[in-house]
Amino acid sequence: VAESYVNCNIWLWRYAFSIKNIFYRRNWEVERLSG
């Protein structure tokens, strides 16, 4: 149970990190195009 819990946390962390990168990259592109 503990191992599956750790794997779930790693998956959630990767998922949140990838979403943050997508939003950050999108905002950077918008600022670059508008700037």
- At 1-35, the pLDDT tens digits run 788 888 889 999 999 999 999 999 998 888 888 87
Q: Using CA atoms, how far apart are residues 2 and 23, in angstroms rounded to an integer?
A: 32
Angle made by CA atoms 24, 16, 13, in degrees to the nearest 5: 135
pLDDT at 3: 85
pLDDT at 18: 96
What's the gap between Cα 11 and its chain centre? Answer: 11
pLDDT at 30: 85
Question: Collapsing DSSP states into helix, strand and coil, what is residue 1?
Answer: coil
pTM exceeding 0.75: no
pLDDT at 11: 92
Helix (H) or strand (E) holding 24: helix 2-34
